């Protein structure tokens, strides 16, 4: 019986790779630089070379590898084809087919945010659950939804695009997506800075945030230190995110919400602020759904990709 | 090979029953009165008697029946147990187990709104799709979500409880669920009447709605006739529902939205009004998801329950 699976998280700067046991233990991880030149045509061959070489070094035979999973920054259709991945300079690409061709390994592919949710479910904040919603608060806001152990990719690759739930119909500033009032505009790192600058301009209240350029981290640090302006920013942040999670709960009713991404480094005070709003707006039977921090951070992508390979082999 | 499946929709007044071919053709349908006395303990035995007698009359042998599915008005856990169904006077009941015992047929059970979504997917407005979201605009607002052909029941039976998505954080009037600002408070038949009475009180504009007691139907009739007050009511109705559908699209990204329930008798003008708002707020790749009327009306429950039995047999 095969004993290993490969998880690959393809990003715009680096491709993270991991070799896992089928029980989910990380054996080894490393990175490969992402070469986006020539339409990103080197990315999969570079990665395949590196994976094969590493398996050779570890004396792992091909027969002992269940397969490889890849998370990519873009939509993925039901056949494992990526219609477009802007950050990788890819047009339409049969990622699963190409990687299988390059390595001889059964290969599966998924959207990176959905794959990360699968990883957190397998070995992170959602361990033991089969129904999780993960929210990644980074430069933007991504999301991944897993129901009954399977990623919800959506009919148009938009499953879990919860950063683009409208939370403010009165917003006039456009989101990168073209709409206005998206969750991402208030709860990403960029969004928090915007909220903070608005609050600073709206009053003359003393605030440590006036001393330096505002960052998401400086807002959370000020909040923890009792800064009144930062408190107003966090109140708005939590109102938008808490209500969005309540709407998601009344739709898919997960066992757990997992909050990841750089902003989530703020830790428990963030969880507490969001949970309070969430419980006020959530449907009665969903009020106790825990909201927890992501546990495996940047490794969620490789864990989830490995789980994807494992699930594909067992399907 | 078995050729028939049974679909049963257990309601508070009647139990609807249908015998279907496994291809989804309705062979015969009928109703049984719901006896809620003595803790609703007669409901399943009455239904089982009726089903067995009808199969006898149609000369359908037990070996030719794949199984029976039941939709019930309450949450259903993963083992087919209903923790509580207020309208049926049921406490905890092993519905699937009891019906199997009574009939000798493999039995499956699901929440009625989720089962109706399955029915509309199988033979109604979502025919040919495997990912549908159904919204039932009746006295309340129910919902059902089907992903990859399977109902999303949720971890606490709240999958598809989209009537309780908060759409107005400023609302002070409570919803039946205990929260305030739920979609149901504006887009159910009751909600539409409330919106209309508010609009009538807020202006002295001439309106046919001032002539008589307002109903959901009278609002839609007035809207179609160009009534200005009714137009304002429909604008609000559509704003709330259209934005909620956009939020759902950014979560599960279905192939189609299906609108059913008594309010949906308003027809295309309702679909047009909601679609316009939906397209303004939906995430780019979801903007073209069609919003259509339910097709099989009150029969969605028996169709869906029959499909549930069929899926359980094929699982």
C-alpha A248/C-alpha B251 separation (Å) is 7
Do residues B58 and B14 both lie within one domain?
Answer: yes
Residue A77, pLDDT score: 81
Which CATH number belongs to the domain containing residue B153 in this structure?
3.30.420.40
C-alpha A11/C-alpha A47 separation (Å) is 12
| Residue A110, C-beta contacts closer than 8 angstroms, at least 6 positions apart | A69, A70, A71, A72, A76, A118, A151, A153, A304, A305, A308
C-alpha A67/C-alpha A6 separation (Å) is 6
Nearest CA-CA partner of B22 in B50, B59, B58, B64? B64
Q: What is the mean pLDDT of chain B?
A: 95
Flag whether A77 is in a domain: yes
C-alpha B312/C-alpha B315 separation (Å) is 5
Residues of B in contact with A166 (CB under 8 A): 243, 246-247, 281
pLDDT in tens, A138-156: 988 999 999 999 999 999 9
Flag whether A115 is in a domain: yes
C-alpha A88/C-alpha A101 separation (Å) is 20
Do residues B107 and B224 both lie within one domain?
Answer: no
Contact B40, B77 (CB under 8 A): no
Nearest by CB to A283, from B152, B164, B254: name it.
Answer: B164
Do residues B291 and B302 both lie within one domain?
Answer: no
Residues A179, B281: C-beta atoms closer than 8 Å: yes
pLDDT in tens, B214-251: 999 999 999 999 999 999 999 999 999 999 999 999 99
The structure's pTM equals 0.93
Residues B249, A285: C-beta atoms closer than 8 Å: no
Do residues A150 and A192 both lie within one domain?
Answer: yes
Contact A110, A71 (CB under 8 A): yes
Do residues A256 and A154 both lie within one domain?
Answer: yes
- Chain A nearest CA to B213, separation (Å): 32
- Chain A nearest CA to B51, separation (Å): 33
Residues B145, A252: C-beta atoms closer than 8 Å: yes
Residue B74, pLDDT score: 86
* Structural domains counted in chain B: 2
Tokens of A57: 């070094």
C-alpha A9/C-alpha A115 separation (Å) is 9
Whether the pLDDT of residue B297 is over 90: the answer is: no
State what percent of residues in chain A have pLDDT above 70.
99
pLDDT in tens, B183-201: 999 999 999 999 999 999 9
Residues B155, A179: C-beta atoms closer than 8 Å: no
**C-alpha angle with apex B276: A253 to B247, nearest 5 degrees?**
15
Flag whether A125 is in a domain: no
C-alpha A112/C-alpha A15 separation (Å) is 12
Search chain B and give the residue with CA nearest A286: B156
Q: Which helix (H) or strand (E) segment is B279 a member of?
A: helix B268-281
Average pLDDT over residues B127-140: 94
Do residues A60 and A137 both lie within one domain?
Answer: no
**Counting one residue from A and one from B, how many pairs have CB atoms under 8 Å apart?**
139
Residue A1, pLDDT score: 59
Average pLDDT over residues A227-231: 98
Nearest CA-CA partner of B75 in B109, B101, B24? B109
Task: Tell how far CA B81 is from the center of its chain.
Answer: 20
What residue numbers bound the domain in which A189 lies? 130-295
Nearest by CB to B158, from A161, A169, A283: name it.
Answer: A283
**Integer CA distances (angstroms), A242 to A198, A249, A263, in order:** 21, 11, 15
| Residue A293, C-beta contacts closer than 8 angstroms, at least 6 positions apart | A125, A258, A259, A260, A264, A267, A268, A271
Do residues A134 and A264 both lie within one domain?
Answer: yes
C-alpha B257/C-alpha B260 separation (Å) is 10
B252 pLDDT band, cuts 50/70/90, is: very high
Q: Which helix (H) or strand (E) segment is B304 a member of?
A: helix B300-314
Nearest by CB to A251, from B131, B252, B284: name it.
Answer: B252
Interface ipTM: 0.92
Search chain B and give the residue with CA nearest A74: B285
Do residues B148 and B202 both lie within one domain?
Answer: yes
Contact A264, A302 (CB under 8 A): no
Residue B75, pLDDT score: 85
C-alpha A182/C-alpha A168 separation (Å) is 7
Do residues A278 and A244 both lie within one domain?
Answer: yes
Contact A121, A127 (CB under 8 A): yes
Whether the pLDDT of residue B1 is over 70: the answer is: no
State what percent of residues in chain B have pLDDT above 90.
90
Do residues A269 and A308 both lie within one domain?
Answer: no
Do residues A107 and A87 both lie within one domain?
Answer: yes
Do residues B136 and B281 both lie within one domain?
Answer: yes
């Amino acid at each position: 019986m095969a004993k290993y699976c490969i998880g690959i998280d393809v990003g715009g700067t680096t491709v993270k790779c991991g070799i896992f046991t089928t029980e989910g233990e990380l054996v080894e991880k490393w990175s490969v630089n992402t070469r986006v030149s020539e339409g990103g045509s080197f990315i999969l061959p570079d990665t395949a070379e590196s994976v094969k070489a590493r398996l050779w070094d570890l004396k792992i035979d091909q027969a002992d590898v269940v397969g490889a999973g890849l998370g990519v920054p873009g939509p993925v259709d039901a056949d494992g084809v990526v219609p477009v991945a802007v950050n990788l300079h890819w047009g339409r690409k049969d990622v699963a087919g190409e990687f299988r061709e390059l390595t001889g390994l059964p290969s599966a592919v998924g959207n990176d945010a959905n794959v990360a949710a699968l990883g957190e479910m397998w070995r992170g904040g959602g361990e033991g659950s089969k129904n999780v919603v993960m929210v990644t608060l980074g430069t933007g806001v991504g999301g991944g939804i897993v129901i009954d152990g399977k990623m919800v990719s959506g009919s148009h690759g938009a499953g879990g695009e919860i950063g683009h739930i409208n939370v403010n119909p009165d917003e006039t500033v456009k989101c990168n997506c073209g709409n206005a009032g998206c969750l991402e505009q208030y709860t990403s790192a960029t969004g928090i800075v915007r909220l903070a600058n608005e609050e600073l301009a709206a009053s003359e209240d003393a605030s440590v945030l006036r001393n330096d350029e505002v960052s998401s981290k400086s807002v959370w640090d000020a909040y923890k230190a009792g800064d009144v302006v930062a408190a107003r920013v966090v109140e708005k942040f939590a109102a938008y995110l808490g209500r969005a999670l309540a709407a998601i709960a009344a739709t898919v009713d997960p066992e757990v919400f997992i909050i990841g991404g750089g902003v989530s480094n703020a830790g428990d005070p963030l969880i507490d602020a969001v949970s309070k709003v969430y419980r006020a707006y959530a449907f009665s039977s969903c009020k106790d759904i825990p909201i927890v921090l992501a546990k495996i951070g940047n490794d969620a992508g490789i864990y989830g990709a490995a789980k994807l390979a494992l699930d594909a082999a067992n399907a």
